[in-house]
Chains A and B, each alone.
Chain A
């Protein structure tokens, strides 16, 4: 049973379009992290959100943590082919519990 549910599972868009990935749980986490993983590599941390309602921006990426610290979203503006990858959210208690991931493909 997945502690964190991510949606959609797959997302294919054209370069320049925007996209949003969602991460939902019934559990409250002390923090939530977003990772990006490329084939043959381990996940690489993008951001950690800690405070309910927190919004963090990383260039074209915007991360939001829900007020109740149970859900989060990742929004990418003007997606580029280099944004292609598996995006994972992970909730942290003392260990990281991952969602199933969203495979994002950005077509040139």
Chain B
């Protein structure tokens, strides 16, 4: 596709369950970012990939959060033992490379933990 695609667009899960959120970046973009956004707030950085490797995962809130990008394209954000406080919109963005060009955002996945 032409833009960053995130699936699912909405996810409702029960407290304690495991969830996976998927991001398909723009083809050819080597940099991929995950952000989390609460209502009325700015996006909060979670993790940044350059290629297959996580160049900076300092924003992951705890070890329940993990992200992978095994082939340097699609990325999956994984959340174990979900808590109600994990409810937010999870945004993915991609750009040509580290510090290069505009970062394009997907529409986000709205995660609700009940």
Chain A interface residues (CB < 8 Å from chain B): 2, 4, 6, 30, 40-45, 48, 86, 88, 90, 92, 94-101, 103
With A42-B105, A44-B105: A30-B99 Cβ-Cβ less than 8 Å:
yes
Tally of A-B Cβ pairs under 8 angstroms: 55
Interface residue range, chain B:
20 to 34
Chain B interface residues (CB < 8 Å from chain A): 4, 33, 35, 40-45, 48, 55-56, 91, 93, 98-99, 102-108
Question: A101 to B56, Cβ gap below 8 A?
Answer: no
B3 to chain A, nearest CB (A): 9
Question: A96 to B105, Cβ gap below 8 A?
Answer: no
Question: B45 to A42, Cβ gap below 8 A?
Answer: no
**Chain B residues positioned under 8 Å from A100 (CB to CB):** 41-42
Question: A88 to B42, Cβ gap below 8 A?
Answer: yes
B7 to chain A, nearest CB (A): 14
Question: B43 to A45, Cβ gap below 8 A?
Answer: no
**Chain A residues positioned under 8 Å from B43 (CB to CB):** 43, 88, 96, 98
**Chain A residues positioned under 8 Å from B35 (CB to CB):** 98
A105 to B10, CA, bound (A): 26
